[in-house]
Structure 1
Amino acid sequence: MKVHKSYGGEHFLYGVCYFPEHWEQSMWDDDFRRIKEMGMNVVRMGEGAWNVWEPEEGRYSFELFDQAIALCVKHDLKVILGTPTYTPPAWLTEKYPEVLRVNFEGDAMTHGSRRHYNYTSPVYVDLCRKIVTQMAEHYKDHPSVIGWQIDNEFNCHMDVSFAESDHVAFREWCQLKYGSLDELNRAWGTAFWAQTYTDWGQVYLPRPTATYHNPSLLLDFYRFTSDTVVDFARVQYDILKAAAPHQFITHNGLFSNLDNEKLTREALDFMSYDSYPAFALKRKDRPKHFRDRGMGLSLGRVRGHSEKFLILEQQAGPGGQVGGVLSGPEDYLLMTPKPGQMRLWAWQSIANGADGVLFFRWRTVPYGSETLWHGLNHYGNQPNWRLDEAKRLGEEIATVKELLLNSRVKATAAQLYDYDNESHWKIERFTAWEGWSSVESIYQALNERHVTVDQLSYQHLSETDELVRKYAVMFYSNAQLLNEEDVRLLRAYVEQGGTLVFGPRSGYKDRDNQAYMQAFPGVIKELAGVEITDFTMVDSDEPSMMSFTGEETEWPAPAFNEIVEPRQGNAEVLARYTKDYYAGKPAIVRVPVGQGAVVYCGAYFTPDNTSALLDRLGIVDPIAAWAEVPLEVEVVAREADGKELYFFFNYSASAMSVTFKETVSDCLSGRELMGAAEIEPYGVKLIARKP
């Protein structure tokens, strides 16, 4: 597949986040010495220190960071600098209160936390432009500064804003998009409830109303919210790239209300990520063996934006935050990684495409809201097992770094998604949870049969030849908003041999969020070769079930059911409902199209019903011919010149056994393996075999 953006460094980056402004200067030299002795080669710093970079308006200071970076040079450590625009200083927000973010109720956020600015304030953008320009000019020729992180975690904590500048910017955005009020009124369907606009001054972001908002306005609100972030990032990207084209520019996503594919393409050299699998351990709705393992789905999304990327914050200890007693968010403390888990999680990131991992953080900060967010070192630098584990990881990376740099993830299945449809979930919330659960369930079912899965934004649909070459099957489980061009591209993939799987309610609306005036499934009716003749929400007290043709086993058909009637003679009914008034009616239909096929599923996906569907589609374990691996062990495939590489992960507290039917190489231990082999609790193997 054509790669639009990717990290392409010559060295694998291994390091930590280090914030010199938090520590006495007398500690720095010893800290950097110890970081180097861990086998690390890079530190990230700077993004939370605007008050240090610019202690008062127009007076810039580089002394503290110059001294810290000089010590990095002494210890042969490279530096990734963050622009400090997510933490405006007190002098700024007091002098320019118009830069503050405003919530939906009209309350302005204030100084005392972070991310309290809005992206559309002309004053704030100008001040950001100035500080970024100063930093870029100062460090553009520094040989140890290798790259930049723009801002920090766009849209974390609070992902919307309703300040006066936001309303003004939204009005301008709408004028640019629609050109006339007539076109806006048509796209938003304002004939309903007398919402028609007769003057641009009447157009606002959503405001408190007596009841439901206009869904088409809401969709544009989410698009606008994302575009403001992309525009804000682009300002910084252009400054940095003009000053220092040899230094990379990235950002640590992924957060909500942001089209990260668009952000990556327009304002970054590549996307990066912050990986905290301990959050996933709280997911009691997922089986225990698949909680932290499920982080691969998010890592796959990053890989979909950038084939190779960095982890700018990798979990190093228990995470937690305090201080929410008055502002609303609950305080929390995550579980401490068990011995082995921290290393496992780092390898999970690497296996999925990361050519750099930086632990957050070097040492736990003794003050502020993150005193519970623990780093590799405790407050007093006492010896601990996490330091030993990080050193072991550094030694392992050094052994196989060339393999990592020169190989790529090899996925044979993909899940499609797009920002419009995920925003639509927020608008039509009555099946939003089931929709997102379907995405996770599909990923789990594929992953448990050791199929490596890519997560692709629908912008990749234009790359038809590559899609057909790589993916035997693509799921587009949330495709409610589609247009004719989308359908043309989807048809091209199928006609050339791909299998495309839709979920319920696909294609029934256009990208203005208006329903097509035709039978369901709307714009994909001809492609899918089916018609939805009836539908219903499912009463949770009377669960719906389905069974596949020729089998008696019943599988869940949760939340929402469509009767999927074939409208082509060569259609095959794969499954039928077994309960309620529509018992015996088609639930899943497969229709051949060209050299491929379209599968339409009228119910949401679960791990069980997806696994049964995969059996019917002939999607088998791709490594079964040479290895017997239990479903509890994850396998991530990679490819390099003349070699196949496979990461084997055991996420459980018990040893797991795999059986190799041929001789393979364990790259981390240097041993040859044949027959039964044990993977220790929270263990990792990197296996090489000849194709």
Structure 2
Amino acid sequence: MSSPRWLRRTGAPRLEYGADYNPEQWPREVWDDDVRAMREAGVTIVSLGIFSWARLEPADGEFDFGWLDEAMDLLHANGILVDLATATASPPPWLTAAHPEVLPIDQQGRTVWPGGRQHWRPTSKIFRRYALRLVRELGTHYANHPALAAWHVNNELGCHNLYDFSDDAAVAFRDWLRSRYATLDALNHAWGTAFWSQHYTAWEQILPPRLAATHPNPTQQLDFKRFSSDVLKDHLIAERELLRELTPEVPVTTNFMVVGETKGMNYADWAAEVDFVANDHYTHPGPRSRDELSFAANRVGNLAGGAPWFLMEHSTSAVNWQPVNVPKRPGELARDSLTHVAHGADAVCFFQWRQSRAGAEKYHSAMLPHAGTGSALFRAVVSLGERLRDLAFVAGTHRTRARAAIVFDWESWWAAEQDSHPTDRLRYQQEALDWYSAFLDLGVRVDVVPASAPLAEYAFVAAPILHVVPAALAERLTSYVHNGGHLVTTYFSGIVDENDHVWLGGYPGALRELLGLRIEEFAPLLDDESAALDNGTTGTLWTDRIDLTSPATEVLASYKTGEMAGRPAVTRHPAGAGSAGYVSTRLGPAGIAAVLGEFLDRAAVRSELPPDLRGRVELTVRDGIRFLLNRTDAPVDLTSLGADVPVLAARAVAAIRA
């Protein structure tokens, strides 16, 4: 992402605004109403054709672009750009009827049948052939259309077909393993196949981790997760390369899903494969909903390398796929959208434009709801369009780097939550979010970055549950600390290498010497157990029996009850010009904030907000433009900033020019 490309268009910089548009769901006479309402709302771009394969190719090799031509022309005539999808997300019935072998197979050997979407195998050569034929037809037909601003590869790759256990997947998995390990001896070593008599003597013996009598080989599971992310990325690249051949001037993207517990796609690895990063995000009700939204937007902004990115989907109000689908409160539509802008989004789009009358998502909110243009929701949509026009000066600006970072590592997420571990209650994303919330509570800006990021640019780095630490990463972290950086990590970090092999000699393995401590045995907690610390905080989920191995290691907090009484709970070890800290239990946001402040002080990282605003307001910065996000449900007085924004309304965001 060294030089990301943006939408192909002319005119002054602006924040794009729009939605997925599905005109094929509606009679032609509705389309004119749609574009009139789009212009009223300030829509500048739509994603088109996402699930239209069956309409574009109604029979094998018979293409019908007439309706799409008309839609493209109508949008262009009304000044609306098109992010044109390749329509390969959902194969049509004629294809799966003729070639049922493209359908995925689940872990128990059951076929995933048509009737939903994304019912295709990423490793199917037959599917790839049909998909690329469609892409070639689209790319050739629309190469010079004036509305075409970007290509949208597939849709939410891996959302419903991430893990396929078919024979196609088995063949492709073996090829992937040959590339990774070269020899069976190397694979047998990496997988530890001496355990349970799993030694392989031929590549053909190797299978995906299908339903087994007990827990499948853990490294086999981890490699299958890596493989599954890679083959989806390979499909992205295949479509992208064809589009670049046909339309080299048109940028190509696909919509990531950096949201909640969606973890199967390693987007840190994918980000370099798109011309600009795009993301879909949906909020989940609860006390941490706002923090999770900010956390996701922060991650996307840093996956984009600080460059502008595209919010491809979020919701105007209720969704349809949660157990209870509550509508957004007044003001939340704008607050949620502008939070993404604050973290670098230069486009704000929704699923979808017009709320469907039929189908599985007919109760999912849209920009134009069932109630029509005379609704409060549509008025809120129009108001947001006006707000985005007022913020045009933000377009093209980059995220301003913070002085602190949180490392977010997909492979640690995958490995730390596998079976046969000290506890199955551990949740990697939740711990990372706890640390993020603690930074927000202290009013300290922080970047959420991949483990591959250049950490030397940060004065302080938190790496919660950094479970997978290859030797090269351990060396990078040691160098970071010795050169003056301040690192803090947590329980279950540094435990295994890239093959999921335990670093021997005591925990936390690869980080043991850097942290100046040693742990002989984990001590996870039962659901009804907790551990009190002498600094007034309380730990849950996990504890460690820590022995200090360096006289320089400071104890910042100790356990004060039970068998752990008197043992260190939170430590800091000076090393070189920096320090490495350790938190041995889950403290939650409030408990983390209680110890984080001291770590930040040592690193000379401080809040840029006045004391009265810390915790109540989140601060983000784009090229000197400050965004203030209200984290409360009450108005916040901003006069202590000395800015011309005396009150920040509840559920509101303010942008202040430098």
TM-score tier (shorter): over 0.9
Q: Which aligned pairs between 1:465-614 and structure 2 lie closer than 5 A?
A: 467-469=455-457, 471-547=458-534, 553-614=535-596
Cα displacement (A) at 1:484:
1.4
Alignment partner, residue 297 of structure 2: 299
Partner of 2:617: 634
SS in 1 for 2:570: strand
Comparing 530-539 with 244-253, greater Cα deviation is found at 530-539
Paired AA for residue 501 in structure 2: Q
Question: How far off its partner does 1:684 sit?
Answer: 2.1
Q: 1:221 aligns with which of 193, 202, 224?
A: 224
Take 2:507 and 2:195, find their aligned partners in 1: how far apart are those partners?
22
Equivalent residue of 2:291, what SS? helix
SS at match of 1:357: strand
Residue 439 in 1 paired to residue 435 in 2? Answer: no
Specify the code of the residue in structure 2 equivalent to 1:623.
Answer: E
TM superposition shift of 1:663: 2.8
Deviation at 1:275, TM superposition (A): 2.2
Matched-pair contact (CA < 8 Å) for 2:518–2:548: yes
CA–CA distance in 1 between the matches of 2:512 and 2:369? 60
Worse overlay, 501-510 or 73-82: 501-510
Q: Is the 8 A contact 1:496 1:595 kept in 2?
A: yes
2:445 corresponds in structure 1 to 452
What code does the residue aligned with 1:318 have? A
Range with bigger deviation, 292-301 or 422-431: 422-431
Q: Is the 8 A contact 2:344 2:398 kept in 1?
A: no
Is 2:60 the counterpart of 1:69? Answer: no
Output the CA distance in 1 between the equivalents of 2:124 and 2:551: 59
Letter in 2 for 1:517: L
Aligned equivalent of 1:90, options 90, 93, 99: 93
How far, CA to CA, are the matches of 1:398 and 1:159 in structure 2?
38
* 1:158 positional shift: 4.3
Amino acid at match of 1:468: A
Report how far residue 309 of structure 1 moved: 0.9
Q: How far apart are 1:303 and its partner, in Å? A: 1.4
> What is residue 405 of structure 2 aligned with on the other side?
414
User: Aligned equivalents of 1:50 and 1:352: distance in 2?
Assistant: 34
Q: Residue 203 of structure 1: CA displacement?
A: 0.4
Relative to the length of structure 2, the TM-score reads: 0.93
The SS at the match of 1:433 is coil
User: Aligned to 1:628, what secondary structure does the other structure show?
Assistant: helix
Match of 1:657 in 2: 636
SS in 2 for 1:295: helix
**Structure with greater strand percent:** 1
Per-residue deviation, residues 200-242 of structure 1 (Å, max 9, x unmatched): 1110001222111111111111111111111111100111122
Taking a change above 3 Å as real, the CA distance of residues 74 and 639 of structure 1, as seen in their structure-2 partners, is closer
Residue among 629, 654, 657 paired with 1:685: 654
The residue correspondences of 1:41-56 to structure 2 (distance < 5 A) are 41-56=44-59
Q: Which one-letter code corresponds to 1:557 in the other structure?
A: G
Kindly tell me: are residues 434 and 314 of structure 1, through their superposed partners in 2, closer, same or farther at Cα, counting changes over 3 Å?
Answer: closer
Aligned mates of 2:122, 2:371 — CA distance in 1: 39
* 2:122 aligned counterpart, secondary structure: coil
Aligned to 2:109: 106
* Deviates further, 225-234 or 610-619: 610-619
Are 1:408 and 1:638, in contact at CA under 8 Å, matched by a contact in 2?
Answer: yes
Cα distance in 2 for residues equivalent to 1:270 and 1:149: 11
Cα offset, 1:156, TM superposition = 1.6
| SS class of match (1:486) | helix
Provide the secondary structure at the position in 2 that maps to 1:217: helix
Q: Which letter does structure 1 place at the counterpart of 2:276?
A: F
Q: Partner of 1:475: helix, strand, or coil? A: strand
Q: Which residue of 2 aligns with 1:258?
A: 265
Match of 1:326 in 2: none
Q: Which amino acid aligns with 1:527?
A: L
Aligned-pair CA distance for 1:658: 2.5
Q: Which moved more, 1:373-382 or 1:604-613?
A: 373-382
Contact map agreement 1:333 1:372 (CA 8 A) in 2: no
- Cα 1:84–1:8, aligned 2, differ >3 Å: closer, same or farther? closer
2:104 and 2:161 in contact (8 A); partners too: no
**For 1:537 and 1:661, how far apart are their aligned partners in 2?**
45
Aligned 8 A contact 2:546 2:567 in 1:
yes
Q: How does 1:296-375 map to 2 (within 5 A)?
A: 296-306=294-304, 307=306, 308-321=308-321, 332-375=323-366
SS at the partner of 1:118?
A: coil
What is the distance in 1 between the residues matched to 2:374 and 2:344?
A: 31
Deviation of 1:574 (Å)? 1.1
Kindly provide the amino acid, as one letter, of the partner of residue 419 in structure 1: W
**How much has 1:513 moved relative to structure 2?**
0.7
Q: Indicate how the Cα distance of structure 1 residues 507 and 20 shifts in structure 2: closer, same or farther if over 3 A, else same.
A: same
Of the three residues 11, 17, 20, the one matched with 1:17 is 20
Change (3 A) 1:505 1:135: same
Counterpart residue number, 1:325: none
Contact 1:318 1:333 (8 Å CA) reproduced: no
Q: CA–CA distance in 1 between the matches of 2:424 and 2:477?
A: 24
Partner of 1:328: none
Q: Counterparts of 2:410 and 2:529 in 1: how far apart (Å)?
A: 33
Say if 2:636 and 2:650, in contact at 8 Å, map to a contact too: no
Aligned to 1:405, what secondary structure does the other structure show?
A: coil
Deviations 1:427-460 (A, max 9, x none): 1462453433211110110012222222211122
- The match for 1:622 among 586, 602, 607 is 607
Q: What SS does the aligned partner of 2:533 have? A: strand
The whole-number CA distance in structure 2 between the counterparts of 1:237 and 1:343 is: 33
| Alpha-carbon distance change, 542 to 411 in structure 1, aligned in 2, over 3 angstroms | same
The residue that corresponds to 1:667 in the other structure is: none
Report Cα offsets for 1:662-691 as digits up to 9, x if no partner. Answer: 531xxxxxxx24xxx3322322222334xx
Could you tell me whether the CA contact under 8 Å between 2:413 and 2:428 is conserved in 1?
A: no
Distance in 2, matches of 1:294 and 1:49, equals: 32
Q: Report deviation, 1:53.
A: 1.4
- Residues 249-292 of structure 1 show CA distances to partners (whole Å, capped at 9, x for unaligned) of 11111243111121222x31122111222xx21x3xxxx3x323
User: Contact 1:442–1:605 at 8 Å: present in 2 too?
Assistant: no
Unaligned runs of 5+ in 1: 322-330, 548-552, 665-671
**What is the total number of aligned residue pairs between the two structures?**
643
Structure 2 segments unaligned to the other structure (5+ residues)? none
Distance 1:139 1:496 in 2: 53
- Cα pair distance change 1:506/1:380, threshold 3 Å: closer
| Contact residue 445 and residue 607 of structure 2 kept, 8 A | no
Q: Would you say the 8 A contact 1:437–1:606 is kept in 2?
A: no
Shift of 1:5: 4.6
Give yes or no for contact 2:537–2:587 (8 Å, CA) kept in 1. Answer: no
Deviations 1:605-634 (A, max 9, x none): 411221011121235752344x62152x33
AA aligned opposite 1:608: A
Cα–Cα, structure 1 residues 543 and 61, in superposed 2: closer, same or farther, change >3 Å?
Answer: same
| Cα separation, 2, equivalents of 1:64 and 1:320 | 29
Cα pair distance change 1:618/1:406, threshold 3 Å: closer
